[in-house]
Structure 1
């Protein structure tokens, strides 16, 4: 698999990324569009979802990514593997998530992952981070009762901000005891997670359930 080189940081507030997604015809994307859906927000190169889609053929997987070259390459890998339960979309989550979720088969969104998002360290760039209050509201509206949101980051303040924004919404209840989950509850780690743990550095994880 050739590696596409792209910019690491993309400003979601720039004019280039303000056009929302057009409506999606899911029956043209998935062989079985009514299967439970796992949504990965900020999927980067998509390797995590490739592995998940192989392991769980009875789920559909959707990766959202703002860097279009990564999406094009990930969909090529999917096609080479013949996976009909996996798709990647180029979009800006901050202006496309509601229209995207509202077009899904009703009750299909059952699991969401947001893993190692771009931290945007400066306070003046805080609005560029993925987990804004509006995103939490939209996920609360479309995730099924009992559905799961899994968050993780190797940057503590980013993990705290994400966790606190979900904790503030009455539709979400945090699972597990202690400040952070010790282990990833999913069967596949991301490349960033593996690299962080190999360096002996902490990963901050939290799981929320939709009430």
Structure 2
């Protein structure tokens, strides 16, 4: 990590972050951690935190939880949170599947966001992709009725895979079935990152999918 990231980690991680592997058994007490009861938004794969910090800042009435495995990225996100003075953001390091299955009870989330997960483009690596039927099933069970699962990717074949998997989940319905291909219009509130801009320059079109818990 950079010097700044290391300082941010040492200063903020004790209050803002936790390791999933070190969590005690059972549900995570989010109300106690945030010091309030509010709708919970879970973002899986926050990367370097550019999007996450902006979205958390734009929704002060939401308890925003970001999970990732990349320590420098989480440290960078804490730097962004400190600069913006965010109080509604908490970070978790580790396996999001373990978090969902072991530490988040049913109907505890108002929304789940998975933006630009690793595409693993080679066919032999497709099994490593995060978005699989087992994950989508547990996500659906953790959403409140009317809660949303929002995904975005710039890899066409992965987007088609996401659409197939989400459409097959009986507890979810596509909010945009009448749009071409069932893709959601790109929400104006989702920040345009350098990553997405570069993808478009390279000819990869980003696609959004938004499904609702029924």
Which category describes the TM-score, using the shorter chain as reference length?
0.7 to 0.9
Corresponding residue for 2:62? 59
Residue 29 (1) aligns with residue 33 (2):
yes
Residue aligned with 1:147, SS: strand
Q: 1:198 to 1:97 in 2, by over 3 A?
A: same
Deviation of the 1:53 alpha carbon: 1.6
Aligned residues: 195
Q: CA RMSD in A?
A: 2.7
Higher-helix-fraction structure = 2
- Cα distance in 2, alignment partners of residues 100 and 88 from structure 1: 14
Residue aligned with 2:110, SS: strand
My pick for the range that moved more, 159-168 or 69-78, is 69-78
Residue aligned with 1:57, SS: coil
Structure 1 alignment gaps of length 5 or more = 5-17
Alignment of 1:107-118 (within 5 A): 107-118=107-118
Alignment of 1:164-179 (within 5 A): 164-176=164-176, 177-179=179-181
Corresponding residue for 2:150? 150
Is the CA contact (8 Å cut-off) linking 2:184 and 2:209 kept in structure 1? no
Deviation of the 1:81 alpha carbon: 3.0
- Cα distance in 1, alignment partners of residues 23 and 47 from structure 2: 18
Structure 2 alignment gaps of length 5 or more = 7-19
Residue aligned with 1:44, SS: coil
- Cα distance in 1, alignment partners of residues 157 and 32 from structure 2: 40
Give CA deviations for 1:129-185 in whole Å, capped at 9, x if unaligned.
111211111111110111111111110111111111111011111121221536322
Corresponding residue for 1:91? 94
Is the CA contact (8 Å cut-off) linking 1:110 and 1:147 kept in structure 2? yes
